[in-house]
Amino acid sequence: KVTIVSTPHDTFTASRLITQSVPVREVMTSENIVKFSLDDLVENVREHMSQTRYRSYPVVDHNNRVAGLISRYHLISSTKKKVILVDHNERSQSVDGLEDCEILEIIDHHRIGDVFTGNPIYFRNEPVGSTSTIVASIMFENGRRPSKKIAGALAAAIISDTLLLKSPTSTNTDRIMLERLARIANLNIEEFAYVMFKAGTSLAGSTPQQLLDRDFKLFTINEVKVGISQVNTMDLDSIKDLKPDLISIMENKLKEEGYSVFMLMLTDIFNEASEILVVGPHKEEVAEAFGKKLVNNSFYAEGVVSRKKQVVPPITNLITKVKELQD
């Protein structure tokens, strides 16, 4: 028998198309299918692909429905995600996978940390009380007037970061910018601050673990791992009954996650003071660094409200001295 094919194509094109006329079942895998989800990280996908030799792999959504296909070509030609770091510039405080991203800019007001970039970038770091002061300055410098909502959000951030300009980190630049934003947002600064702090410092329904996670930062100082949480409140007595549980969780995190020092600042925003809970092998020395004596893993520090300016520096000095003695 002879098979005759009628086609509008020339002989060369027809011969190429015939080789592709193969049933899908002959070229696809129907068992033990290697698939990926929309949430899989590129590095994990690359690792699985290196262990198999398929041309393409299905990508499924949360309902296990095919959302598309991915091949080795996509990994070779994949572009890095572009990010701008705001209010931080330390790798330990950033998102997971930062090393696979392209950092375009850094806008911050903290100490300069350990983030490295492959190319020159715009890096703006100013010793002001709030990164929002810098963000607002950039807008005005470029002739952009923030909307009423954005101005209100930026003003709220400045009030929060500087504790209504009472924090030692606050500057005249913060005050000027706050007043300018408040005029745009039509805010009474004092009244708005009181309502915001009252809502923001409410501890109702919060567990000790949630309090520790609310505002936590990891610092690596001379290769020593230090964790510092901060909780702002208008009533320190409301946390009194939670302290035993807080200290217990802190001690567990110290052991499980390898911290040398773990601290929790319970900051009274109106009395401008903090009760500081400390765990770790050098907890007594930590209290002494503030001129205090540790009692039941705790000491009261008048005038201490800023983690960045009043807590990290003495801890850095303490760790440096301890390292020198050990060497």
Q: For domain 83-200, say whether CATH 2.120.10.30 is its number.
A: no
Residue 15 has a pLDDT of 84
Closest CA to 322 of 314, 251, 255, 262: 314
Q: What is the pLDDT of residues 120-153, one digit of tens each?
A: 999 999 999 999 999 999 999 999 999 999 999 9
How do residues 195-222 score in pLDDT, each as one tens digit? 998 888 777 778 999 999 989 999 988 8
In the chain, list all ranges with CATH 3.90.1640.10: 83-200
Domain with CATH 3.10.580.10 in the chain: 11-76
Cβ-based burial of 316 (10 A; exposed 0-12, middle 13-18, buried ≥19): middle
Confidence of residue 257 (pLDDT cuts 50, 70, 90): very high
Domain 11-76, CATH class in plain words: alpha beta
Quick one: pLDDT at residue 327? 65
Residues of the chain with CATH 3.10.310.20: 208-326
Architecture of the CATH domain 208-326: Roll (3.10)
Asked whether the predicted pLDDT for residue 252 surpasses 90, the reply is: yes
pLDDT digits (tens, 9 = 90+) for 163-175: 999 888 899 999 9
Residue-level pLDDT at 95: 84
User: What's the full length of the chain, in residues?
Assistant: 327
- For residue 77, name the pLDDT band (cuts at 50, 70, 90): low
**What are the tens digits of pLDDT across the range 296-314?**
999 999 999 999 889 999 9
Crossing angle of helices 172-185 and 148-162, in 10° steps, is 150
Q: Which of these, 114, 159, 152, 107, lies nearest to 131 by C-alpha position?
A: 107
